[in-house]
């Protein structure tokens, strides 16, 4: 059962995030907007619930109108008058002393909008208000409710076979394909051998796509550095993959909030993982001669992005301590150019710095965005500006096979979308220097 305090918290979140319109275009007056973040209430689960409710409300703000209870009798009379006049506004007298009262004018406009809305619903046989949402927003909204659950198995403590046997003994049935999933069933992920898929349940967010790409890139006793915005569970998943090759995972503590660093430490302690080192520096402050990065072979760049390829951005933003200010744009189906420009600037900064380490053999760049400005256009731009020491193989964009150079996954009923670029130092046949850019 939802607590009353949760609704109050969600209302405060909505008040902070909603987009203010000019007074003449405001159907609802929410009071003065503030930039002060709402005080947290009830811990992380309550926070996620509040932001989820606020996000769903933001999607429908363009269809809302208001009428105070003391104006309800007037509204009923005017509504009948509207119906009698086929919902056309009546012409007002311009004679002095016969002007309409302002409250009547305002209510008339609100009623006309609501009446038009109702007529349109009847005419188009729309069953719910959600049908007024844009196709992209409505599709994502429905997918988010039915996305399957991807559950990662910690293979340092148990095996996939043991988990499958335990699930089957508990009454669950294993099926072969995700299309066969239903209640009380599960299947194995064909791409990630330590992951099981269940029918839609509360999500545990991990970056499965990164873990699929990472495994064949690891070096024996080589370190992996993860930079950007990611969850504690993603950190643990990468750590298990690195442990299989006796490698360590490096994180830059200065790039994260203290609460997130503590969350990562707590999870690693619970899972008894000891191959993760949290550095005190920020990623962009690290230099190639720092002692901590002398065994560094792979850098994974997971920058904060627009989250536009996600069916439900709230879950990911919550788990990764991301930017809640993206929700107003995402609730309407697109992200403003100004925000994309701001995000791409930071993304380019992270990727450019990742390419500056001479001992690094592979850089993996991943976003959950549909915008080329955050994806292939950005990677190409950064590669063109990167200067490499003459004695090193440069990171280059392979212009001959661009279609095979990048990995894009579109959002669907089974998964969220993503973009991955893999940059590796290689020598082309015939001695010509090149780099493979792909996934």
Task: Summarize the annotated binding site as residue ranges.
Answer: 255
> Quick check: 317 and 311 in contact, CB under 8 A?
no
Binding-site residues for S-adenosyl-L-methionine:
255
SS3 89: coil
- Identify the DSSP state of 99: P
CA angle at 211 for the pair 206 and 212, rounded to the nearest 5°? 125
> Quick check: 149 and 200 in contact, CB under 8 A?
yes
Give dist(CA 219, CA 137) in Å, integer: 42
- The helix or strand, by DSSP H or E, that contains position 137, with its residue range, turns out to be helix 135-146
Give dist(CA 8, CA 387) in Å, integer: 53
Give dist(CA 378, CA 381) in Å, integer: 5
Long-range contacts of 159-168 (CB under 8 A, 24+ apart): 160/188, 160/193, 160/194, 160/196, 163/196, 164/188, 164/196, 167/196
Q: What letters, b where the CB count within 10 A reaches 16 and e where it falls short, cover 103-115?
A: eeeebbebbbebb
Give dist(CA 346, CA 336) in Å, integer: 16
Pairing of strands 418-427, 362-367: antiparallel
């Amino acid at each position: 059962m939802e607590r009353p305090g949760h609704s109050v918290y969600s209302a405060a979140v909505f008040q902070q995030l909603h987009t203010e319109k000019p007074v003449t275009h405001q159907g609802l007056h929410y009071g003065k907007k503030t930039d002060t973040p709402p005080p947290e209430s009830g811990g992380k689960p309550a926070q996620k619930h509040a932001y989820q409710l606020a996000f769903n409300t933001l999607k429908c703000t363009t269809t809302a109108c208001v009428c105070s209870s003391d104006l309800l009798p007037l509204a009923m009379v005017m509504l009948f008058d509207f119906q009698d006049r086929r919902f056309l506004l009546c012409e007002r007298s311009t004679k002095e002393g016969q002007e309409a009262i302002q409250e009547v004018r305002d209510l008339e406009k609100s009623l006309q909008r609501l009446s038009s809305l109702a007529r349109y619903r009847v005419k188009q046989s729309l069953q719910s208000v959600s049908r007024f949402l844009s196709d992209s927003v409505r599709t994502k909204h429905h997918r988010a409710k039915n996305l399957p659950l991807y559950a990662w198995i910690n293979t340092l403590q148990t095996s996939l076979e043991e988990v499958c046997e335990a699930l089957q003994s508990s009454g669950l049935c294993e099926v072969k394909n995700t299309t066969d999933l239903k209640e009380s069933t599960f299947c194995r992920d064909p791409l990630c051998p330590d992951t099981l898929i269940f029918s839609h349940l509360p999500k545990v967010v991990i970056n499965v796509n990164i873990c699929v790409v990472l495994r064949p890139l690891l070096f024996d006793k080589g370190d992996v550095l993860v930079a950007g915005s990611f969850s504690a569970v993603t950190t643990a998943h990468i750590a298990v993959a690195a442990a299989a090759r006796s490698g360590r995972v490096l994180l830059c503590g200065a790039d994260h909030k203290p609460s997130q660093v503590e969350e990562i430490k707590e999870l690693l302690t619970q899972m008894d993982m000891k191959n993760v080192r949290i550095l005190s520096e920020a990623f962009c402050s690290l230099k190639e001669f720092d002692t901590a990065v002398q065994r560094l072979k792979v850098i994974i760049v997971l920058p904060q992005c627009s989250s536009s390829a996600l069916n439900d951005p709230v879950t990911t933003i919550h788990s990764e301590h991301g930017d809640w200010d993206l929700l107003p744009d995402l609730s309407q189906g697109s992200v403003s150019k100004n925000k994309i420009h701001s995000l791409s600037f930071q993304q380019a900064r992270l990727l450019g710095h990742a390419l500056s380490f001479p001992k690094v053999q592979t850089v993996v760049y991943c976003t959950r965005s549909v915008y080329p400005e955050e994806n292939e256009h950005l990677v190409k731009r950064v590669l063109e500006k990167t200067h490499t020491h003459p004695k090193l193989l440069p990171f280059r964009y392979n212009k001959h096979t661009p279609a095979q150079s990048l990995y894009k996954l579109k959002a669907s009923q089974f998964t969220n979308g993503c973009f991955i670029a893999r940059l590796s130092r290689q020598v082309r046949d015939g001695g010509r220097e090149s780099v493979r850019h792909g996934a």
